[in-house]
A and B are shown apart, each in its own frame.
Chain A
Amino acid sequence: MLTIFEVASVQDTDIQKKIDYEIRIREGACKLLAACSQRDQALEASRSLLTCNARIMAYMSELQRMKEAQVMQRVARRSSDTGANDDRHPCKGKVAISDIRIPLMWKDTEYFKNKGELHRCAVFCLLQLGGEIFDTDMVMVDRTLTDICFENTIVFNEASPNFELRLELYSCCSEEDYSAGSTPRKLASKLSSSLGRSSGKKMRAAMDPGAGCPISSAGGGATLLLPVPSVAGPKYHLLAHATLRLPHVQDNFRTHDLTITGNEECSYWLPLYGSVCCRLAAQPHCMTEQMMSGALRVKLGGDPQGWTNVYGVLKGTNLFCYHRQEDVEASVEPVLTIAINKETRIRASERDPHSKAQSICISNRYGGEEVTHTLAADTREDTQRWMEAFWQQFYDMSQWKQCCDELMKIELPSPRKPAIVTPKQGSLYHEMVIDTSDDIGTVTDILTHRIEDFDLTSGHGTTPAWMSLFDESPRSPQCPSRLSAHSPGPSPSPGRFRGRRPRSPRSPRCRRTPGLLSSEISLTSDSDSPCSTSPCSHHHGWSETPSSSSSSRFRPRTLSLDAKLTSLRGRGYSSVQRSCQMATSVAAVPRPTQTVLSSSSSTSSNSSSEGGQDAAFSRPSIARRSLRNLRAKLDPRNWLQSQV
């Protein structure tokens, strides 16, 4: 049996552990903040830093309170004999806030005409109830948004009826070009003159947050008192706050007022409308848990003398009487359900002077009628406990007020993967990285050169394996060592060309006109684009149909495109396997760029296991030309002219 001191110290160590944990997280966040280079990462790290600080503050103040309470207790025990605390405490409950939406009020010129530079801020909400602090995800806000919406559902588990849920909105200005903290002042003033007055002013304000706008840390959200390790990087500032209490709890959405701190001069300013909409729900434990259960005897039916043994469960606004205790788990319908709500009147009475038990009369009004149920427990103590439970229930209901009318639903957020951030533009073309060294024109030029060279330096032995694609006769592997390491994926390529075999004339080399070649391959370019480059391993199977016809394998491989294009860039032009897909670029198909890029890059990546032992085929002149060409092509103002 733990004494008060031991209980307190156990709680102490709990809190101490929590503090230590948060401090470790904070250190990690500081390191991350110092190390990361991308703005998004820095914002996220800064947000977790702020949350950690807030949590540490809360824990430390709780620790302080507990120590004070200990001291008070000790003093009280010494001075007088305090009996058991007679005050009735209301039960705790769960409080959940979800679907937080904060409307914005942009000037109509800004919103509709899209004038002025795009002022973006990163915002998130910090929610504090009792000792629990949670933060929402970060949302980027610019003037294309009409509301700031936070999708998170935050559940606080141990809330008392007189809770105060403090909602704080933090924002941090997010300009693309510079991080506010690190630009030296001199450069900043130089930049401000060259960037333009408004952006320079913003930058200066961002760098010196204390100057222009009052940062109010009044109230519970004191996050600036701790000696925070000063880190460079984006800093969040309190933009607005609101405090929600029990009267704000309701089963649907309500609008509450926001107190806005900060003014227009601050860099982190956002034009808030002044209110916040959210759904604040509460589930007191008296509604969700069994407050009391035990054996009872109840008078049922018309028989005035007959008592039925039931198992009673007091939960929520009802007293459920089950036939047996096992029925509760088995979800069998109760024999009798007696409503216990604010209208109910319960009184204990002496039934028989000679029987020891008291009986409990529960009266409800149903419609105009008054219905009374009489229950009795086995012993006087049981009766006393039941009465106590009823009184406690009434007290809870009076404290939690509207939350006890009906059970409010709280949806726990299911553990989902974080939503994939979709780029604003939906077009595939925007996702693709066009590296200047990966001009298709260059590729085809090189490949045609290559073909020519092979033609000129004819010799069976040096036939690369891919040539067999254009060939009728299966070839013996010329370079088994080279390709043995290659993982032979299901190769649809032989199968694809198979159908066209009768049409093309036999020739040892790719001497057919490219037009003809493209007619073959163009028809297949719509299908599986990652044409695997294991023709060598399949050249024997040239006459056999591969079992897997991967007709559905075409998918725009843009996500892996970056990786593949970088591998392309690294390898220069030494990969010959791209020639497999050369002709696909020649044919004009509806999806030219996508198909070609992905197929050429995928072939090169497939062949990366080759190690590029082909003679390094570097054409710097072509690279330069392609660079110019590409730049010219990508400029929409030009009307291109090409010399032929």
Chain B
Amino acid sequence: MSYIPGQPVTAVVQRIEIQKIRDGDNLILGFSIGGGIDQDPSQNPFSEDKTDKGIYVTRVSEGGPAEVAGLRIGDKIMQVNGWDMTMVTHDQARKRLTKKNEDVVRLLVTRKSLEEAVRNSMMQPR
């Protein structure tokens, strides 16, 4: 997941589709994000590379739509509904997730365990 200058960023991603639920006037997803290009990346507890300014999931509320959909704490969000999230400010990320006229957000997330899972599956002879 680390960024090598000049190389395209590649990651193994998982598609997660979260159905927003309505809570009064708001649509909530049930998780919290941290990070952004305007934030200090060294304070990110979840990132492997402490210069990574991506958007990470910092908290998933229990039983919320995000947890149900399979989002896990520590996930790095790569895309939301097709919009890139690797080079956005914190506020932009929040807005992309909280669009009022969208009921569904489709995320592409990546996490360390995914890579390992893929690697393991490739190594094991089928």
Q: Do A and B come from one complex?
A: yes
Distance A637 CA – B90 CA, assembled complex (angstroms)? 14
Total interface residues on B, using CB and 8 Å? 32
List residues of chain B with CB within 8 A of the CB of A444.
95
Contact with B along A437-455 (1 / 0, CB 8 A): 0001100100011011000
Q: Which 5 A-B pairs have the closest CB atoms?
A: A639-B43, A641-B34, A644-B97, A642-B94, A448-B100
A252 an interface residue at 8 Å Cβ cutoff? no
List residues of chain A with CB within 8 A of the CB of B49.
none
Contact with B along A408-441 (1 / 0, CB 8 A): 0000000000000000000000000000000011
Distance A637 CA – B28 CA, assembled complex (angstroms)? 27
Give A504-531 interface residues, CB cut-off 8 Å to B: 511, 513-515
CB <8 Å contact, B33 and A644: yes
Contact with B along A600-644 (1 / 0, CB 8 A): 000000000000000000000000000000000100110111111
A29 an interface residue at 8 Å Cβ cutoff? no
A588 an interface residue at 8 Å Cβ cutoff? yes
B51 an interface residue at 8 Å Cβ cutoff? no
CB <8 Å contact, B29 and A588: no
CB <8 Å contact, B90 and A642: yes
CB <8 Å contact, A642 and B33: yes
Closest to B100 in A: A448
Q: Assuming A642-B93, A644-B98, what are 17 further A-B pairs, CB within 8 angstroms?
A: A448-B100, A449-B25, A451-B101, A452-B101, A513-B101, A513-B102, A588-B88, A588-B89, A633-B91, A639-B35, A640-B39, A640-B90, A642-B32, A642-B33, A642-B90, A644-B29, A644-B32
A-B CB contact pairs (8 Å), 15 listed: A441-B94, A448-B100, A448-B101, A513-B102, A514-B99, A588-B89, A639-B34, A639-B43, A639-B44, A640-B36, A641-B32, A641-B33, A642-B32, A643-B28, A643-B59
List residues of chain B with CB within 8 A of the CB of A639.
34-35, 39-40, 43-44
CB <8 Å contact, A644 and B100: no
Closest to A444 in B: B95
B3 an interface residue at 8 Å Cβ cutoff? no
Contact with A along B79-116 (1 / 0, CB 8 A): 00111000011111111011111100000000000000
List residues of chain A with CB within 8 A of the CB of B82.
515
Distance A637 CA – B39 CA, assembled complex (angstroms)? 9
> Given A641-B32, A644-B31, is A636 in contact with B40 using a C-beta cutoff of 8 Å?
yes
- Give the shortest distance, in Å, between B38 (CB) and chain A (any CB): 8
B19 an interface residue at 8 Å Cβ cutoff? no
CB <8 Å contact, B32 and A643: yes
Distance A644 CA – B100 CA, assembled complex (angstroms)? 11
B58 an interface residue at 8 Å Cβ cutoff? yes
A-B pairs with CB below 8 Å: how many?
65
List residues of chain A with CB within 8 A of the CB of B92.
586, 588
Closest to A512 in B: B101
- Give the shortest distance, in Å, between B15 (CB) and chain A (any CB): 18
List residues of chain A with CB within 8 A of the CB of B90.
633, 640, 642
- Give the shortest distance, in Å, between B30 (CB) and chain A (any CB): 8
Distance A449 CA – B26 CA, assembled complex (angstroms)? 10
Distance A239 CA – B34 CA, assembled complex (angstroms)? 56
Closest to A588 in B: B92
Distance A609 CA – B91 CA, assembled complex (angstroms)? 32
Distance A441 CA – B99 CA, assembled complex (angstroms)? 12
Distance A586 CA – B92 CA, assembled complex (angstroms)? 7
List residues of chain A with CB within 8 A of the CB of B102.
513
List residues of chain A with CB within 8 A of the CB of B95.
441, 444, 586
> Given A640-B39, A642-B32, A644-B31, is A441 in contact with B91 using a C-beta cutoff of 8 Å?
yes
List residues of chain B with CB within 8 A of the CB of A637.
40
Distance A641 CA – B28 CA, assembled complex (angstroms)? 15
| Residue among A452, A513, A514, A644 making CB contact with B94, cutoff 8 Å | A644
Distance A448 CA – B95 CA, assembled complex (angstroms)? 11
Closest to B41 in A: A639
List residues of chain B with CB within 8 A of the CB of A643.
28, 31-32, 59
CB <8 Å contact, A515 and B43: no
| Residue among A452, A588, A592, A644 making CB contact with B28, cutoff 8 Å | A644
CB <8 Å contact, B81 and A515: yes
- Give the shortest distance, in Å, between B59 (CB) and chain A (any CB): 7
List residues of chain A with CB within 8 A of the CB of B58.
641
| Residue among A441, A449, A586, A642 making CB contact with B100, cutoff 8 Å | A449
Distance A37 CA – B80 CA, assembled complex (angstroms)? 52
Distance A642 CA – B97 CA, assembled complex (angstroms)? 11
Distance A444 CA – B100 CA, assembled complex (angstroms)? 11
